[in-house]
Amino acid sequence: MAYYIINGGNRLEGSVTVSGAKNAALAIIPAAILAGESCRLENLPRIEDVNMLEHILLKIGASVESTADGGMRIDPRGISNYHVTFDMVSKMRASYYLLGALLGRYGHAEIALPGGCAIGQRPIDQHIKGLRALGAEVSIEHGIVKAKARELVGADIYLDMASVGATINIMLAAVAARGQTIISNAAKEPHVVDTANFLNMMGAQVKGAGTDIIRVNGGMRLHGCTYAIIPDQIEAGTYMIAAAATRGDVVLNNIIPTHLEAISAKLMESGVTVFEGDDGREFYMRVSCDNRPRAVNIKTLPYPGFPTDLQQPMMAMLAKADGNSYIVENIFESRFNHVSELQRMGANINVNGRTATVEGTKSLAGAPLYASDLRAGAALIVAALSADGRSEVHNVEYIDRGYEYLEEKLRALGADITRVEE
Ligand code: EPZ
């Protein structure tokens, strides 16, 4: 167990390089199973969830080597076991992508149900609906999802909600299905597009990713490739929010501005200066704030709306904004577990169902804080950085899942943060 000690009040200043996208990596690593040869992935974040996924691939027989530049080489040809047990899944719930990947490659997959987590029930009924539409027999026995298919055949699939996981999982199986699959009401997140681009680099034919209709012409033999994943939209947004919350001045490198439009717009509405530029080689974003941010209203929505993963860090910034902010969490049914921790710092927040009313206060007081999930942890870090005095943020293993080199990056920006191993 470890925790962070943060002495708040320092302005974040300087530049930070955004790592590869966690939610793209967690989809593309399983997708590499579909290739008949080895793939080399670059710009992967070295975070706990990626380490866990690497461990699972090794356990089922794939060969996985980390490369010197932080990349990963995956050769699926040695896979002999299609059973991913609960102890593997319990630490890394996004292993459900192995359902679509193993089913697509071997016609067989047995994955322990990931179950709910701190932010909601997280059902996978839409994943199962899609795989069944492609001709798989899917049953749930003793908490294990068992999927088998002699042959996968393309189908028209309509998603009840624009589920990121279901869109990607169905896409993974559809590239191995004979004929065309159409996924309607598909999720449009950047990591959905990145996964489709990776599949196409392997020789698949996936069209329309990034729109709500994705067409897959399946049955192609997929070859190996080298692929660099996109920068992490949510990590970038978290640093943008932290810069604003500490009235800092931070340049973010390795970003894709279009992925950050919703967060940039909200920060500018709050009075924060957001400048997008490119140095002739790559884009950068500069976020600066000299005055107290103004209150703004947030409604989380599927991409390109305001991302649910930034709702929690944004609330930490708005806890000290000038005025009342209204935050509606439309994606997950219980994504306000960080509120009680912020209240202990003096935040004035009232939750009613899916709406949180945040009455901005002039200051927050440092306190011992306990993260309940990954982005709640990020919210507590943002709050502690902008609070008066000393905070401790516990349960950092949640934060380790999604933020690469967090302590080093924040310290380089001037934060007074120290990780203590208990
Ligand atoms: C992905 O989760 C991300 N995780 C989440 O990021 C992110 O918050 C979420 O997408 C929304 O953007 C990964 O990519 C690994 P969904 P996912 O399916 O795929 C309901 C983080 O912090 N639903 O788009 O599980 C579901 O309960 C994590 O990085 C069903 O009802 O999200 C939720 O209310 C947290 N049935 C809504 O849809 C299903 O079969 C959206 O879920 C699937 C989903």
Measure CA 183 to chain center: 22
Annotate 284-295 with b (16+ C-beta within 10 A) or e (fewer).
bbbbbbeeebeb
Confirm or reject: Cβ of 375 under 6 Å from ligand 1. yes
Ligand 1 atom, smallest distance to 127 CA:
40
Residue 122's pLDDT is 87
- Position of tokens 């709640």? 376
**CA–CA gap between residue 359 and residue 295 (Å, rounded):** 8
Q: What is the CA radius of gyration of the chain?
A: 21
- Position of tokens 């209203």? 297
**CA–CA gap between residue 181 and residue 10 (Å, rounded):** 52
Nearest residue (CA) to ligand 1, atom 16:
163
Confidence band, pLDDT 50/70/90 cuts, at residue 1: confident
pLDDT tens per residue across span 238-263: 999 999 999 999 999 999 999 999 99
Confidence band, pLDDT 50/70/90 cuts, at residue 118: confident
In the predicted structure, residue 362 carries a pLDDT above the cut 80: yes
**CA–CA gap between residue 176 and residue 221 (Å, rounded):** 8
| Beta strand ranges found along 77-203 (DSSP E) | 83-84, 108-112, 137-141, 144-148, 156-158, 179-184
Task: Using DSSP bridges, classify how beta strands 156-158 and 390-394 pair: parallel, antiparallel or unpaired.
Answer: unpaired
| Beta strand ranges found along 98-155 (DSSP E) | 108-112, 137-141, 144-148
H helix or E strand, kind and range, residue 269 = helix 261-269
Contacts of 90 (CB under 8 A, 6+ apart): 112, 115
pTM for the full model? 0.97
Ligand 1 atom, smallest distance to 234 CA:
29
Q: Are 122 and 161 in contact (CB under 8 A)?
A: no
Average pLDDT over all residues of the chain: 96
- Position of tokens 């279009």? 258
What sign results for the dihedral spanned by CA atoms 79, 85, 88, 92? positive
Ligand 1 atom, smallest distance to 187 CA:
24
Nearest residue (CA) to ligand 1, atom 9:
164
Confirm or reject: Cβ of 21 under 6 Å from ligand 1. no
pLDDT tens per residue across span 336-345: 999 999 999 9
Mutate to test the pocket of ligand 1, among 22, 121, 331, 336 (most ligand atoms within 8 A of CB): 331
Residue 90's pLDDT is 75
117 classed as catalytic: yes
- Position of tokens 């990776």? 198
Show the CA angle centred on residue 169, arms to residues 133 and 262, nearest 5°: 120
pLDDT tens per residue across span 260-287: 999 999 999 999 999 999 988 899 999 9
Q: Which of 168, 167, 102, 104 is nearest to 135 (CA)?
A: 104
What are the chain's domains? Answer: 2-19+231-421 (3.65.10.10), 22-228 (3.65.10.10)
Q: Which two tokens stand for residue 52?
A: 């866990």
Annotate 358-394 with b (16+ C-beta within 10 A) or e (fewer).
bebeeebebbebbbbbbbbbbbbbbbbbbbeeebbbb
Least confident of 48-57, 190-199, 323-332, 367-376: 48-57
What's the CA-to-centroid distance between 165 and ligand 1, angstroms?
Answer: 6
User: Does the N-terminal peptide bond of residue 304 adopt cis geometry, omega within 30 degrees of 0?
Assistant: yes
| Beta strand ranges found along 241-311 (DSSP E) | 249-253, 273-278, 283-288, 298-299
In the predicted structure, residue 58 carries a pLDDT above the cut 80: yes
Confirm or reject: Cβ of 134 under 6 Å from ligand 1. no
Q: Is 144 left (phi over 0), alpha (psi -120 to 50) or beta?
A: beta
What's the CA-to-centroid distance between 192 and ligand 1, angstroms?
Answer: 12
Confidence band, pLDDT 50/70/90 cuts, at residue 402: very high
Q: Which of 165, 289, 179, 178 is nearest to 239 (CA)?
A: 289
Confidence band, pLDDT 50/70/90 cuts, at residue 87: confident
Q: What order of strands is seen across the sheet that includes strand 416-421? A: 368-370, 390-394, 2-7, 416-421
Q: Which two tokens stand for residue 396?
A: 């950092």
Q: What is the average pLDDT across 313-319?
A: 98
**CA–CA gap between residue 272 and residue 263 (Å, rounded):** 11
Confirm or reject: Cβ of 125 under 6 Å from ligand 1. yes
Confirm or reject: Cβ of 164 under 6 Å from ligand 1. yes
**CA–CA gap between residue 212 and residue 159 (Å, rounded):** 10
DSSP string, 47-87: -HHHHHHHHHHHHTT-EEEE-TTS-EEEEGGG----EE-HH
**CA–CA gap between residue 341 and residue 388 (Å, rounded):** 15
H-helix segments, 295-395 = 311-318, 339-344, 374-386
